[in-house]
Structure 1
Amino acid sequence: MEKSIKLLIAGLLFSSVSVAQVADSIQHYGRGISFNKKEATTAGGVATSERLGHRTSTVASNSLFGLIPGLQVLQNAGNEWENGATLYIRGLGTTNEKSPLILIDGFERSIDNLAVQDIESVTVLKDATSLALYGIRGANGVVYIKTKRGYAGKPVITLDYEFKMGTPRRLPKFVDGYTYAQALNEGLKNDGLSPRYADRELDAFKNQTYPEFYPNVDWMDEALRDHSYGNNVNFSMQGGGENVQYFAQLNYLNDKGILQPTDDNDGYSTQFKYSKLNFLTNLDVKLGATTKLELNLRGNFAEDNRPYTTTADIFNALYQVPSGAMPIKTSHGTWGATSIYRNNPIALISGTGYERGQSRNLYADVKFVQKLDFITKGLSATARIGLDNEARYWERNQRKFASEEATMGWDGEKDQYKKLTDETPLDFTSSIKDVVRHLNINAQVNYDRTWGADHKLNATLFYAMDKMTKRGQNAGRAYMDIVGQAHYTYKSRYLLDFSLSGSASSVLDPDNRWGIFPAIGAGWILSEESALKADWLDMLKLRASYGIAGRADFGTQLFRSSYSGGSSYFFGDTPTSIGGLKESRLAVDGLTYEKSHKLNAGFDFMAWRRLSVTIDGYYDHRTDILVNGDGALSSVLGIATPSINNGIVNSYGVEVAASWKDKIGNVYYQLGGQFSFNRNEIKEMNEVYRPYDYLKRTGHSVGQYFGYEVEGIYKSQQEIDEREVKQVLDEVQPGDLKFKDQNGDKIIDEYDQVALGYSSICPEIYYGFNLAAEYKGFGFTALFQGVANYSQLLDTRSIYRPLVNNNTISQHYYDNRWTANNPDGKYPRLTYNGSKNNYNTNSLWVADASFLKLRTLEIYYQLPERWMKSLPGVSQARVFARGHDLFSIDKMDGVIDPELTGASHPLMSQYTFGVNLRF
């Protein structure tokens, strides 16, 4: 009979689930290797499908916030379907490519081409004994994703539906037309220039007496509607018998964006629209008593629609164009524009045509497993081949819009309308943007044997070939790996792991493509010792590992010099010009891979069948990083210096994860959290000569800001004149920033820059905590996630860089600017021409980007079983309401989001309403 258990993990729906579906006790490493987590010596972390299911994002990477210790997940700008999250494992260990290797069922594939509902578990591999298995691709860590499979048992059919709405988060507030005109005049006056607007024009802005010529357009309000809308439908079947087990799933989702107006054109829309159909079929077929076949097929078809104008150009216009620049349309019905502002935001949305893209991705693999017990007990062999094809097709339908500039005629003069552009019809073009093909071939021999009660051995010999071809010259690459791994357990408490891999990459010099990557790990399960055995103690384990992993995600052909067109040469009695060639790039001599020497120590503790605690500490010494050669080679070469493999970065940190789950009467509850601290230091980067130690980037973290230390704002000309220190960056006047003289030479110049804040790339501290409870079917789950020791540069146009480059100005800057009447203003004086003194990297603009966000809040009701009698075929039903990214506690004054400081599509809060049915 099918056995079921109650699960409560991070807000898990408290419902019966087949034991065959529970994967918590198994640790997956890829390479065909997995074994019981209790016996693991590695530092891997796992999130199961139950935890991921509370955030069914459009792209799967946005479902990983705050779930797994050591995995840092950072949100990106843009429509969610355009930009997945950025992933790092244990912070930053290199100055080059920092992303981890993403594996789907053992093959390198994009996580964002998965539906969240496809995923059974996500395992983060982060120490030497697991990463040495991946050789030349393992140094940045591995995110191993296992998709759902069938099981022998009663078939289960599920049908899920979600309706979601999104609302923009922290849209910037820009000043109205009248305030902008005042601010512009003020900035021009500060620059010693004449005002742009006369008093009667200011009155026209203020009173809106002539709105066509002196308008007041809230471009954000006109261009963006309050909500986006979308649907997510998922259908799955799972089950099987002794010989065939299956999992099949079909997922469809769509999303309609926040632009307006988008339906002004006959026959097409310019709205952000996205739809995707995912399908997944995993079959396990028993061909005989010792033979098994796995057939896996997955794919998706996606289509997106948008204005012909890029998303970046639309939002740059929304952040730049002042409210008083021009009307949306003139009285002639023509798009408004000026000789300065030809980028009418509404015209960019509605009047430039549209683009439509289609993605078609297919992933197929076959796995053949043969037991070889007839040779020796526990021996088996596996062969696997995977074929992937990804393609993207674009249709572009471009047009130009008619625009004109309206100028009012004062004192009886005639109003003027100057044509700036003419309308053109749609012009159709199409192209195949990307075509990627992936071939994977794996073969392995596995030996799994137990002798008596004391000895257990799992050993694997693994071969892999991975070849990727991509449209474009020198765009493909290939890898080859030969891996040996052994896991030994003695008396169920002494653990030993050893792995050794040989790994090669096609991007390296043909004479130096192979690397050797050893690792060793050991563990001691103290709770199995007779002296420590107790009813309350479920497990206490110590473990440690050391080894080497590599990274070679470089560009292709770096080991070859390249040539380009050079000067002309003259030959013959009558000189004739002949074009020549010159070296444009020198080869990287002895190009090799990065080497990551990883040390990890940790312990796992479980007690009272309720409490679980894991703590890990690590140290990573990364060598042979490919860095610029400027500081190591002479500039008299007369050509750009090549890169050199002699960079060094050290990183270290600690990770803590804990959870408590229990039942009191009819109340189930769970509390949990994870915390990680990751710090890195550049030890060698071929840094160019700098005369003072505080100027040197070496010794600081990757992504560290450098700039001027602000001591205040000059409040008067007298203060400027009396200060012995002179700032030579630009002309200084009252309202300008005052900088600290770091070297005591009485001059503020480039030699007075120091380290400011923390890294702008990845926070040093990353944490999350969750809580969940259920009472008689009513329940909730909440996930909070935060970061600290993280900095961002506040240089967003118009918000922190007003007026310059014809920008508008934010209400926040206007209210907090320095003026003679507001000498304690936070921000420097207004300027139209800009200021090299104020608008540079300095401590005013390098901001603390720490935050705590409510990533997920879900409230649900599990319908009683007695109600199912009125729903034929339905065994379980659940309704829920869910919110994502509902609020943020941070230090950005409510102006911008610490994860989005640029002029781009806003981040969104999502509200979802749905139902889960099981048949």
Structure 2
Amino acid sequence: MNKQHVLQRRIIFGLLFLGGVTFSYASTEKDLGSSTSAVTQQAVTVKGSVKDAAGEAIIGASVVVEGTTNGLITDVDGHFSIQASVGQNLVISYIGYETQVVKIARANQQINIVLKESSELIDEVVVVAYGTQKKANLTGAVSSVKVNDIKDIPVSNTSSLLQGRMSGVTVSSFSAQPGAEGDVEIRIRGINTFGDSNPMVLIDGVEGSLNSVSPNDIENISVLKDAASASIYGVRAANGVVLVTTKRGNADKKTLSYSGSYGVQKATVLPTYINSWDWATLYNEQNEAMGDVTTNFTPEMIQQMKDGSRPDLFANTRWSDKIFRSAPIQTHHLSMSGGNATSHYMGSVGYMGQDGIMEGTSTDRFNFRLNADSKFIDIITLGLNVSGNHEEVEEPTIGTYYVFEQMKWHSRPSVPYKYSNGEWGFVDGNDKMQAIKNPAYATTITSKKKYSRFDGKAFLEIEPIKNLSIKTSFAYQYNQWNSIGAEPAYIPQDSYGNPVGGSGKNYLTDAYYSETQWINENIITYHFDVNGHAFNFLLGQSNQYNNFRSTTATGEDLPSDNITVLNGALSTSAKGDAAEAALRSFFGRVNYNYKDRYLAEFNLRRDESSRIPKKNRTGYFPSVSVGWNIAQEAFMEKYSFISQLKLRGSWGELGNQEIGYYPFAQYIGLGNNYVWGDNKVSGVAISSLANPDIKWETTATTDIGIDAAFLNNKITLTADYFYKKTSDILLQLPIPGIVGISTEPYVNAASVKNEGWEFALGYNDQWGDWKFGANVNFSKVKNEILDLHGKDSWITDWSINLEGHPINSYYGYVADGLYRTQAEVDEANEKNSVGGGALKLGDVRYKDVSGPEGKPDGVVDTYDRTVIGNPFPDFTYGFGLNAAYKGFDFSAFFQGVAGVDRIVMDYPTVSGNVTTAFLDRYSESANPNGNFPRLGNGDYNSQPSSFWLKDASYLRLKNIELGYSFKQEWIRKAKLERLRIYVSAQNILTITGIDDYDPEKYGTDTRGHAYPNAKTFSVGLNITL
């Protein structure tokens, strides 16, 4: 250890001392004085020193009498002096070194300890494709999550636990709706294609859903980010791979564990809607601007809203209070594990119950898992993984989206939630106004969806000779769900009992879906060493098959609302679908390692997919990666503060087949009748065109990275640069409607790049009884369309796909405030051709940025629409802190994004509930300084434009937790190995520039149609026997 290293240690110790470490000495002395039970009457003084292998003093090493709270830390010279009893043990530990235990043999004993550097980080094993590797020898870009950081966080979607935890991995939680698995999106290093960009999730080697696994069952989560790490999975890994390994039993150790939590959820943010009298005032103002005041509210009506004198006719209903609530969430998990020298097992059962923050939404999920393996004779191992879950999800029959739509667009605050007679409210006292939809009533009419899933995998491994392994496995997966939804024959009424609409019919929908998948894999591995040259070979083959079948039937006019079978319906209709697909693959890998110094890996996979036409069905996907462990070189020995230093680089290709089951087949649709003479004749017509020439979509990735660790692995650093190009992207480009085809054919018609860099930095240290850790990760990704194969662009509402810009860039007019002078209005009316009628004061002003010749032409029209925003963040980041002192532990984790845009459009028309933003509308007489567009020209002012574009950057406190683990001497009498209690909170703080809406919501949001995210406060308990 050099002098610089010693100086660093001394400075750290001095800072700790000034920062309050003396308090720990004082508290230790107090403990010593009062805890006579921890030290026998034959107390002796033991002195000593703690040094490293180089003979340098270790400052702040922990010295504790085993089984007691009697402990201290070494001083600036590495010395210590402690009272203990003959026969007791001293436990000496320090971050980055192996712990030592020394028995006290006599009084006045001098103990001189030399701690060896820990190989824990160097020997850390990471799960990779078809096996594991030492992290120090990885040549690809692989990130992993510490399961202890996430297992106690109560969530309904396990996927959301990854949010912000790894560089290059973007996780977005769009809502907290119970059972809505699709509301969590995972993207690895950007978005590669115009279609499905979800990564493949493998659970113990079987493709599945991350949300089907309880966090308490997870042993390890690894993410393969570059092609070199994932290419051995071929077409299954085009968007990256998430590898989940579940727990197995430990030899000679039986444990029984319980984990449980109970929490309360609330919406992170909800739009703030105006009261009924302000609503009526704005409604009248809008009518006057449009020249039709027949439905205006009178001053008397507005006064009755204010004073509440006629609540059945003129109410002040806060609909969000009637729809949203504080709701409980609870989790329970019980597991048992054990084993011996030849067999291991782990079994668990779990339950998660969640009431949604919207009325009428909930989920109950039950899950089980059993992992077992046993070695029969010395060369044969048999194993079995079985898991399953059953979930029942409740939601309004019309769907949560349409509940929001009713609240935002088809209700108003002047209508009562319920009349005084107990009936649901649908109209107010203004008889000129139409009846509304009552969203609170809609939440009482619910449907139940039942999901069931079973996964089973059996494997046989034979080791006929040393270093040779032959393994075969067969996995089977079955998923099904069914849903029965009924709408009763309800007729809305006014407060006097008069009908105000409704068809008087009831409806019933019965839907069923099932999916089966099986996969057989056969793998041979062989490894050997020759004079420091280590080789590891893998050769494999797999066959995969999956199919699905779905049926949906509807009926109406049932004789009773209590009948929920379709045979009782007066009229019915049904439709169904089915498909199947297969994939056959061969793959191989070679690893080379010279004395842990020079590393190389080669992969090749051959895939044949039934989804690709025969002539292009076979695809080959190679990769190569290399690494140089510089820290293992002899010339690095003098730089003792460098624990690890490795450079690595990789290149590889991946394919994509997520384009439907039969993209090369031509479909013929029934029901296309035509007239022959005077008669209608049944006929068929082509409904989709086929393209027999489509080929694999291919993604090539180049990655250059560095892994480093310093100061005995206290500080760790990983940094990567990557360039990812996807070519021959499969898309369905728009075709002219005159062709008469409803479904466009797939074509290989584009290329896209994702380029960026990422880094992760960690710090861990220990000072006596104090442990501290911090970590931060940061990623930047730029997405760009490189080529559209001759097509200029295509536009869909608010977005455009255009060369040189990100996929689905926001597209619209560039807004330049509001028109505030009549002269501006008069000039604009002469050159404006954007729809919506004549412009007036308070309308949005759009810039003239282009024309038919590509330059401003003095006219505002569709030529002036341009790219106005980016739907993908420029930066994503996360950082966390954790600390522990004796039995207490604390952690906090933050996550955020920067440089991302969202469309948040409060459509400027007073129809339905409106937000407080409307109070700042421009009005020449009432509010001439208003910044919200005037009322009465909604079609013009709601054009796609930058006026509604918001910077959706945010920083969110994802989780904060405080826990306490009871001392061993307290819980041993109850035969407990571990007892921990904790309190935690999730999503309780968000810093953003967007008001009333959650910035994490993807895409376009008009008045908040999305189910909100939730903040949760919870308490929990962990028990191990």
Q: Quote the residue 1:364 is aligned against.
A: 456
Give the SS at the match of 1:403.
Answer: coil
Q: In structure 2, what is the Cα distance between the partners aligned to 1:136 and 1:691? A: 27
Q: In structure 1, what is the Cα distance between the partners aligned to 2:941 and 2:509? A: 46
Please say if 1:620 is aligned against 2:724.
yes
Q: Quote the residue 2:594 is aligned against.
A: 490
Please say if 1:552 is aligned against 2:662.
no
Contact residue 687 and residue 698 of structure 1 kept, 8 A: no
Contact residue 921 and residue 935 of structure 2 kept, 8 A: no
Contact residue 785 and residue 801 of structure 2 kept, 8 A: no
Please say if 1:305 is aligned against 2:413.
no
**From 871, 883, 886, the counterpart of 1:776:** 886
TM-score between the two structures when normalised by the length of structure 2: 0.80
CA positional deviation for 1:645: 0.4
Alpha-carbon spacing, 1:867–1:725, altered in 2? closer, same or farther (3 Å): farther
Q: In structure 2, what is the Cα distance between the partners aligned to 1:448 and 1:811? A: 69
Please say if 1:147 is aligned against 2:251.
no
Unaligned 5+ runs, structure 1: 10-18, 261-270, 407-414
Alpha-carbon spacing, 1:712–1:380, altered in 2? closer, same or farther (3 Å): same
CA positional deviation for 1:815: 3.4
Please say if 1:645 is aligned against 2:723.
no
CA offsets 1:224-255 (integer angstroms, 9 cap, x no match): 22x11122111112221011111111111212
Q: Quote the residue 1:455 is aligned against.
A: 533
Please say if 1:389 is aligned against 2:478.
yes
Contact residue 589 and residue 644 of structure 1 kept, 8 A: no
Give the SS at the match of 1:558.
Answer: coil
Q: Quote the residue 1:911 is aligned against.
A: 1017
Alpha-carbon spacing, 1:593–1:244, altered in 2? closer, same or farther (3 Å): same
Q: In structure 1, what is the Cα distance between the partners aligned to 2:145 and 2:134? A: 16
Amino acid at match of 1:99: N
Amino acid at match of 2:980: R
Contact residue 59 and residue 116 of structure 1 kept, 8 A: no
Please say if 1:76 is aligned against 2:182.
no
Contact residue 801 and residue 807 of structure 2 kept, 8 A: no
Q: In structure 2, what is the Cα distance between the partners aligned to 1:305 and 1:5? A: 55
Amino acid at match of 2:909: L
Give the SS at the match of 1:887.
Answer: strand
CA positional deviation for 1:331: 4.2
CA offsets 1:160-219 (integer angstroms, 9 cap, x no match): 121111011211111111111001011112222226212222222233222211111111
Segment of structure 1 superposing worse, 577-586 or 647-656: 577-586
Q: In structure 1, what is the Cα distance between the partners aligned to 2:793 and 2:471? A: 57
Give the SS at the match of 1:405.
Answer: coil
Give the SS at the match of 1:886.
Answer: strand
CA positional deviation for 1:627: 2.6
Q: Quote the residue 1:355 is aligned against.
A: 447
CA positional deviation for 1:724: 8.4
Please say if 1:294 is aligned against 2:383.
yes
Give the SS at the match of 1:167.
Answer: strand
**From 729, 735, 747, the counterpart of 2:859:** 747
Matches within 5 A, 1:654-803: 654-686=757-789, 688-689=791-792, 697-723=802-828, 726-729=831-834, 730=836, 731-743=838-850, 744-759=856-871, 762-795=872-905, 800-803=906-909
Alpha-carbon spacing, 1:558–1:5, altered in 2? closer, same or farther (3 Å): farther
Give the SS at the match of 1:79.
Answer: coil
Amino acid at match of 1:733: K
CA positional deviation for 1:605: 0.3
Q: Quote the residue 1:105 is aligned against.
A: 204
CA positional deviation for 1:488: 0.5
TM-score between the two structures when normalised by the length of structure 1: 0.89
Give the percent of matched residue pairs that are identical in Structure 1 and Structure 2.
25
Alpha-carbon spacing, 1:818–1:402, altered in 2? closer, same or farther (3 Å): same
CA offsets 1:113-137 (integer angstroms, 9 cap, x no match): 1111111111111112122111122
Please say if 1:200 is aligned against 2:292.
no
Give the SS at the match of 2:976.
Answer: coil
Q: Quote the residue 2:512 is aligned against.
A: 433
CA positional deviation for 1:361: 1.1
Contact residue 757 and residue 848 of structure 1 kept, 8 A: no
Q: In structure 1, what is the Cα distance between the partners aligned to 2:737 and 2:492? A: 51
Matches within 5 A, 1:43-54: 43-54=141-152
Q: In structure 2, what is the Cα distance between the partners aligned to 1:570 and 1:97? A: 41
Q: Quote the residue 1:564 is aligned against.
A: 669
CA positional deviation for 1:600: 0.5
Q: Quote the residue 1:505 is aligned against.
A: 609
Q: Quote the residue 1:583 is aligned against.
A: 686
Q: In structure 1, what is the Cα distance between the partners aligned to 2:873 and 2:200? A: 20
Q: In structure 2, what is the Cα distance between the partners aligned to 1:208 and 1:582? A: 62
Structure (1 or 2) with the larger CA radius of gyration = 2
Amino acid at match of 2:1020: G
Q: In structure 2, what is the Cα distance between the partners aligned to 1:284 and 1:254? A: 32
**From 543, 553, 560, the counterpart of 1:465:** 543
Contact residue 178 and residue 355 of structure 2 kept, 8 A: no
Contact residue 180 and residue 322 of structure 1 kept, 8 A: no
Give the SS at the match of 1:617.
Answer: strand
**From 313, 316, 320, the counterpart of 1:220:** 320
Contact residue 801 and residue 839 of structure 1 kept, 8 A: yes
Alpha-carbon spacing, 1:161–1:629, altered in 2? closer, same or farther (3 Å): closer
Contact residue 272 and residue 996 of structure 2 kept, 8 A: no
Q: In structure 2, what is the Cα distance between the partners aligned to 1:381 and 1:498? A: 20
CA offsets 1:529-577 (integer angstroms, 9 cap, x no match): 1001243221100000111111110012211222235866777xx8766
Q: Quote the residue 2:558 is aligned against.
A: none
CA offsets 1:138-166 (integer angstroms, 9 cap, x no match): 22111111111122132122111211110
Give the SS at the match of 1:372.
Answer: coil
CA offsets 1:485-515 (integer angstroms, 9 cap, x no match): 1111012210111011101222111232110
Contact residue 888 and residue 963 of structure 2 kept, 8 A: yes
Contact residue 54 and residue 858 of structure 1 kept, 8 A: no
Amino acid at match of 2:598: Y
Q: In structure 2, what is the Cα distance between the partners aligned to 1:307 and 1:565? A: 33
Please say if 1:335 is aligned against 2:438.
no
Alpha-carbon spacing, 1:568–1:810, altered in 2? closer, same or farther (3 Å): closer
Q: Quote the residue 2:966 is aligned against.
A: 863
Q: Quote the residue 2:135 is aligned against.
A: 37
Q: In structure 1, what is the Cα distance between the partners aligned to 2:180 and 2:93? A: 38
Alpha-carbon spacing, 1:710–1:7, altered in 2? closer, same or farther (3 Å): farther
Q: In structure 1, what is the Cα distance between the partners aligned to 2:830 and 2:168? A: 46
Please say if 1:518 is aligned against 2:622.
yes
Q: In structure 1, what is the Cα distance between the partners aligned to 2:121 and 2:707? A: 20
Q: Quote the residue 1:604 is aligned against.
A: 707
Q: Quote the residue 2:107 is aligned against.
A: none
Q: In structure 2, what is the Cα distance between the partners aligned to 1:440 and 1:97? A: 22
CA positional deviation for 1:289: 0.4
Contact residue 407 and residue 913 of structure 2 kept, 8 A: no
Matches within 5 A, 1:225-264: 225=325, 227-259=326-358
Amino acid at match of 2:860: I
Alpha-carbon spacing, 1:570–1:86, altered in 2? closer, same or farther (3 Å): closer
Q: In structure 2, what is the Cα distance between the partners aligned to 1:382 and 1:896? A: 49
**From 887, 904, 915, the counterpart of 2:989:** 887
CA positional deviation for 1:519: 0.7
Q: In structure 2, what is the Cα distance between the partners aligned to 1:911 and 1:776? A: 25
